[in-house]
Structure 1
Amino acid sequence: CGAGGSRRGGDVMPKQEKQVFRDTIQHHSKSFSFASSLIPGDARRHVEVLYTWCRRADDAIDLAPPEAQDDALAGLRAELDLIYEGGPSDDAMVVAMQDLVRRFQIPRTYPDELLEGMAMDARGVAYTEMDTLLLYCYRVAGTVGLMMSHVLGVREPEALQNAVHLGIAMQLTNICRDVREDWARGRLYIPHDLLEKHGGRALPAQLGAALSLQFQDALAKSVRDLLDLADVYYASADTGLRGLSWRAALAVRAARYIYAEIGAEVRKKNYDVFRGRAYVPKSRKYALGLKALGAAVLEVPFRTVNRFSRAPLSKALHFPGDVLILESDG
């Protein structure tokens, strides 16, 4: 692959490496793969590089045995040092990320926070309060939205907050969809204070066990509340879509519709997350893609008058002040 600086003059990544990044998205996230296919040319490749690095980092932690997870995290932090320092590397992923962070000036704090979110999983953090869950959502998904904003470009820095909110909304949706799988793995992301509100105070101590009807009801009501919260963050994300280019907004809106539809499928099951994993059929994804296209067409008059240009993004956002929606805001 050559030294880290050997490709900095332009986009000359071999076709085989590009296909590896694209295949990673298609394998791990059908929804994200569908949405990213709407992004044109080089922008799509840049998105695929970023997604693949995030996926690789997550797998490095998630697939490592518990006793090796600290070493895996240390290795990822060392890899980030190499990425941001721009040193020589024979790793195609590192070389691609070196180009990406330099080209789009992605603040180091974002991938650092992403790794901290993965460390929360490795440590088995107990989500006793909603604020802890929102911190987790910011770290593992909101930061990805921020990095994607640097890659895709936004009209004004204020749109960064909307990007964070979309990431948080999507992660809340994922958590609600995956309760059954996480439960079997001994993980519970639903905040304990929310469970207690619905009579499920003893639920965390039951992890992995069969649930009584009482606890199933508490879990269902908690999932309902989390999906309602996700809707608040989706609504904020919607207000920032005009801050993207037309094609980028089309792709992001399609992803937003598809992820929100996962939440709608959970609702159709009356929030009973143990009845099977909610998913969006391919035919429905195409329909939601058309819905996103319709919304994009309605924006044409605005975009004709207000031509898109990238704003400089010099200030990094930080949790919680730049990120959370306060109750008074909603």
Structure 2
Amino acid sequence: MLAVLAVLTAGLLAFHRAVPNSVGRLGSLLEAFLPWLGLVVVVLLGLALLRRSAIALVALLLPVAAWTYLFGGLFLPGAEPGAHDLVVVQHNVSDENTDPAGTARALADAAPDLIALEELVPTALPVYEKTLARDYPYHAVRGTVGLWSKHPLTDTRPLDIKPRGITEAWNRGLRAAVHTPRGEIAAYVAHLPSVRVRASGLASSWRDESARLLGRAIAAEKRNPVILLGDLNGTVDDRGLAPLTSRMNVAERGFAFSFPAGFPLARIDQVMARSATVGHIRALSATGSDHLPVAARITLG
């Protein structure tokens, strides 16, 4: 039985794309927590040692190899700390955050070039603007998302990524040109709709539709490099984000689980790039949000 479970775990890791999404989006649900199958391997290893089962131990080589292939590279050391062009921070600050000033200071302490924020509410926005103004003189806000920059911003415009089923006012995307010392880049900030885990499975249709709209906008972007920062409400393994991950590079190093802040289980706050490399990504200390901020190093070109 332990050997069978080991082979099954290896199969889920290696062939997770084969798990159908037609019923309850089970494939996406599995992919949202795919790294945690490593814990299943650890439990099976402990039971195999307890039972002294040579067959189970040999079978466990399969899921170990599959997990290492998928995620082992994230543990490898990245490039030298100075071997990058930009540092960016992405954070869903939460519309219930009671300490926006403290949150803004914590993000600025990471000394990024760009800060992307989601869930900006009218009462907190002036606090973020005032607190970040000294170090980040350039900023743009569209709806509930914003971008703060050390470098000039131009050609800022909203992104239409609203699913058809949402009828109320809803603006969760923006695009801006950032004039960095290494040249101009296109920066996108987005907050995709939330997903819910229900008895019937994963409810992600609005998220998936919004991801497709965002993917089309990025595909139509003529400028390179492109950097996407946002709360995408999905992991990079989730096939619902394929319209983005198929077009953009994701972080090469680091897990940076960001949600929920109290016990992070997944990284749904993402940094992606086109014609640029996302190096090491890490989670920052908790703020007044239910998400953890994530910071990443970007190498252009």
- For normalisation by structure 2, the TM-score amounts to 0.25
Higher helix residue share: 1
- For normalisation by structure 1, the TM-score amounts to 0.24
Higher strand residue share: 2
